[in-house]
Amino acid sequence: MVMQQMTKQDYYKVLGVERNATERDIKMAFKKLARQYHPDVAENKEEAEVKFREINEAYAVLSDEEKRQLYDQFGHQGVQGSGGGYGGGYGGFSGGFGGFESIFESLFDMSGMGRASGQTRSRARRGSDLRKDVEIELEDAFRGKEEDFTVESYQTCPVCNGRRVKPGAGFKECKPCQGSGMMRNVQNTVFGQFVTSSTCGHCHGEGRIPEEVCDECRGEARTIRKERISVKIPAGIDNGMPIRLTGKGEAGEFGGQAGDLYLFVHVKEHQHLKREGKNLILELPIGFADAALGTEKEIVTFDGTEKIKIHEGTQTDAVLTLHGKGMPDLRGGKPGDLLVRLKVVTPTKLNEKQRKLLCQFAEEGPQFHCGKKGFFGKLVDALTGKN
Ligand SMILES: [Zn+2]
Ligand SMILES: [Zn+2]
């Protein structure tokens, strides 16, 4: 791991948290930033990579009680050699999400300060989390949908089933560490002498090595393969909601736990229906005769047809609520409502007969006028300076 010689930013500032931030605050801030600056998703990759590295470094220190204490006391000096460098690669999988969780695990994969002696660390690493995006119609979100897709990523090796050895072969004891997986070493640091145990480089902490390595995965226990995945997207899902498929991410390295797959669901906009939380909003144009006289209309919903009653004297923007006809509740609770917003449409192209009829209508009431200026017309003219 190469140490970086550059002016370092304050770790709290990097994560945007206060100096007294809780463990949880730090974790939340980190996750948010890691998603934002992940080089696989960010627009400016180079900038994101630098930022991503900074975030990981800051998190590596601040998420560890011991390192955080040293950092608070001695600053960057205090934690050199623990969170100072960044050596983990992200993801091996293009288009993947990379493993922001597995990255910081790898940050501690070195011996030195901050690690209590006697602690063991095997080479096993959790597989990366993956991200997949799907787009569905609003109607699919209303009913729920079975979605099939293919993911290409690291999967457990089918030949050795993740055992890493050739079928029929076994393991033998690691000689350099005598099967313990650990090597003892003494370090002199500015804080005094530390006796630490570090992972055996020969067996990577396992204490045993394969007699013969699997040809298919070359002993890594995983290979890149395509997998078909079928997911039931629940009714009521909202735009941008991720569905977590535990263990469906990349297979772990050397027997580590598999990562998770996050399916991000994007719900397309509907031509007529707008969604606000659980409610659906339908804008319905009605003629002004219907608005004045009242009528009944039929509207088509995802569930079938509904009759709605438009009352006499309806004004534009009046809202009719159809209870329970909105989106289903994701957790099986009460569904939302369908709100029908009525838009009174003023006719624009009148023929002579209609014009006449409207004039007749207007002359019947004092609040209307036909061509001639009533009180309000005169008032407007006075205000705008016309005579
Ligand atoms: Zn294999
Ligand atoms: Zn060993």
| Domain ranges, ordered by start, for the chain | 1-121, 126-170+211-269, 273-384
User: Minimum-distance ligand to the CA of 198?
Assistant: 2
Burial 314-336, CB ≥16 within 10 A → b, else e: beeebebebeebbbbeeeeeebb
Task: Give the pair of three-digit tokens for residue 263.
Answer: 């399916």
365 pLDDT more than 80: no
pLDDT value, residue 241: 87
Summarize the confidence of residues 129-133 as an average pLDDT: 92
Q: What is the pTM of this model?
A: 0.54
202 pLDDT more than 90: no
Considering Cα of 171, then 176, then 177, then 183, what sign does the dihedral take? negative
199 C-alpha to ligand 2 centroid (Å): 8
82 C-alpha to ligand 2 centroid (Å): 23
184 C-alpha to ligand 2 centroid (Å): 12
4 pLDDT more than 60: no
User: Minimum-distance ligand to the CA of 208?
Assistant: 2
pLDDT value, residue 123: 63
More confident site: 385 or 288: 288
CB 316 within 8 A of CB 344: yes
137 pLDDT more than 90: yes
175 C-alpha to ligand 2 centroid (Å): 6
254 C-alpha to ligand 1 centroid (Å): 10
CB 277 within 8 A of CB 326: no
Paired sense of beta strands 338-345 and 279-287, if any: parallel
Most trustworthy range by pLDDT among 4-8, 87-91, 96-100, 262-266: 262-266
Q: Angle at CA 333, nearest 5°, toward 330 and 339?
A: 85
171 C-alpha to ligand 2 centroid (Å): 12
In this prediction, residue 142 has a pLDDT band, given cuts at 50, 70 and 90, of: very high
Q: Measured between alpha carbons, how far is 340 from 343 in angstroms, rounded to an integer?
A: 9
Q: Give backbone dihedrals phi and psi of 38, rounded to 5 degrees, phi first.
A: -60, 125
CB 38 within 8 A of CB 52: yes
CATH number for region 126-170+211-269: 2.60.260.20
In this prediction, residue 221 has a pLDDT band, given cuts at 50, 70 and 90, of: confident
Q: What is the mean pLDDT of the chain?
A: 80
Task: Give the pair of three-digit tokens for residue 87.
Answer: 């050596």
pLDDT value, residue 187: 73
230 C-alpha to ligand 1 centroid (Å): 26
User: Minimum-distance ligand to the CA of 172?
Assistant: 2
179 C-alpha to ligand 2 centroid (Å): 6
Q: Measured between alpha carbons, how far is 247 from 224 in angstroms, rounded to an integer?
A: 16
> What is the fold of 1-121?
Helix Hairpins (1.10.287)
More confident site: 124 or 340: 340
112 pLDDT more than 50: no
108 pLDDT more than 60: no
pLDDT value, residue 252: 86
More confident site: 374 or 296: 296
- Considering only 49-53, 306-310, 341-345, which range has the smallest mean pLDDT? 49-53
Summarize the confidence of residues 139-151 as an average pLDDT: 94
Indicate the class that CATH gives domain 273-384.
mainly beta
Q: Measured between alpha carbons, how far is 34 from 32 in angstroms, rounded to an integer?
A: 6
Judged by DSSP in three states, 260 sits in: coil
User: Minimum-distance ligand to the CA of 154?
Assistant: 1
In this prediction, residue 31 has a pLDDT band, given cuts at 50, 70 and 90, of: confident
201 C-alpha to ligand 2 centroid (Å): 6
Ion ligand 1 residue ranges (Cβ < 5 Å): 157, 159-160, 214, 216-217
pLDDT value, residue 281: 97
Nearest Cα to 141, choosing from 280, 42, 39? 280
268 C-alpha to ligand 1 centroid (Å): 42
User: Minimum-distance ligand to the CA of 254?
Assistant: 1
CB 99 within 8 A of CB 129: yes
Q: Give backbone dihedrals phi and psi of 74, rounded to 5 degrees, phi first.
A: -115, 0
In this prediction, residue 110 has a pLDDT band, given cuts at 50, 70 and 90, of: very low
User: Minimum-distance ligand to the CA of 120?
Assistant: 2
In the chain, which residue ranges form alpha helices assigned H by DSSP?
11-15, 23-37, 45-62, 65-74, 100-107, 138-143, 288-293, 352-364, 375-384
165 C-alpha to ligand 2 centroid (Å): 17
More confident site: 315 or 65: 315
Task: Give the pair of three-digit tokens for residue 272.
Answer: 């007529």
Q: Measured between alpha carbons, how far is 51 from 53 in angstroms, rounded to an integer?
A: 5
Digit-coded pLDDT (tens) for 285-316: 999 899 999 999 999 889 889 999 999 999 99
1-121 and 126-170+211-269 share one fold? no
334 C-alpha to ligand 1 centroid (Å): 50
pLDDT value, residue 332: 87
User: Minimum-distance ligand to the CA of 221?
Assistant: 1
More confident site: 100 or 377: 377
79 C-alpha to ligand 2 centroid (Å): 28
Burial 25-60, CB ≥16 within 10 A → b, else e: ebeebbeebbeebbbbebeeeeebeebbbbbbbbbb
Type of residue found at 374: G
In this prediction, residue 105 has a pLDDT band, given cuts at 50, 70 and 90, of: very low
pLDDT value, residue 107: 33
